[in-house]
Amino acid sequence: MEKLDPQNQGFLCTCLLALWTSHNELLFEENIRTPMEIVEVANQRHDEFIAAQTATTDAMASHPPGARSVEKWETPPTNEIKINVDAACIDEEMVGIGVVAKDSFGSLLMASMWKASLSVSSKEAEALACMMGLEKAQECFFLASRFRSVEFYHVKRSGNMVAHEVTQMAFTNADTMWLEEAPANICNLALLDIPTPIHE
């Protein structure tokens, strides 16, 4: 991995993700993809990876040290889905990714974790997390195959606690995706994000 340039490292990551997705489609949906189809998907995901990496860099540049950043999870507008992602690296040898989707009520719709033996930088891991977040969202039945719009925001850990917890779990658990339910620690953190009604 270290012998590859950054572009080829990114392509390798998308190939691994395409293989993993194809494996799940075969296992759970009995959908068989040919090697060429997997390569085509990997190429498409690599383009998305580059776009996500650029968006992540731009988002971080727009929030330099000392600038205001989102500190608390905020509900998305009605009929929209908010996807929070997080990534962490261990000794630049292992990357863990957490993805969480919630609706405008703060209800947990999906949580997913994934890990891989990859030597990537923190920025590359964050870009991969953005790409995986979109990938997972498209896999879920409650989201359309194409998005009408996508916006990226940088948030502090205090506004991303659920995705952070899922990411930490990824290092010690098998790759998993939950729909509308998750382990108690994830659900409890998600409940803390739900705005408390103000009674006059």
Give the pLDDT confidence score for residue 65 in this predicted structure. Answer: 46
CB atoms within 10 A of CB 2: 6
Annotate 137-174 with b (16+ C-beta within 10 A) or e (fewer): beeeeebeeeeeeeebebbeeebbbbbbbbbbbbeeee
Rounded CA gap, 37 and 18, in Å?
10
Nearest to 74 by CA among 5, 186, 159, 135: 159
Q: Which residue type, as a one-letter code, is found at position 188? A: N
Contacts of 142 (CB under 8 A, 6+ apart): 81, 109, 110
Per-residue pLDDT of the chain (200 residues; tens, 9 = 90+): 555 566 666 677 777 777 777 777 777 677 787 877 877 877 777 776 666 666 555 555 555 444 445 577 888 888 888 889 999 988 768 899 999 998 888 888 889 999 888 777 777 888 888 888 877 777 765 554 455 666 667 778 888 889 999 999 999 998 888 988 888 888 888 888 876 654 44
DSSP 66: T
Q: Where are the domains of the chain?
A: 6-193
Annotate 108-120 with b (16+ C-beta within 10 A) or e (fewer): bbbbbbbbbebbb
Give the pLDDT confidence score for residue 191 in this predicted structure. Answer: 86
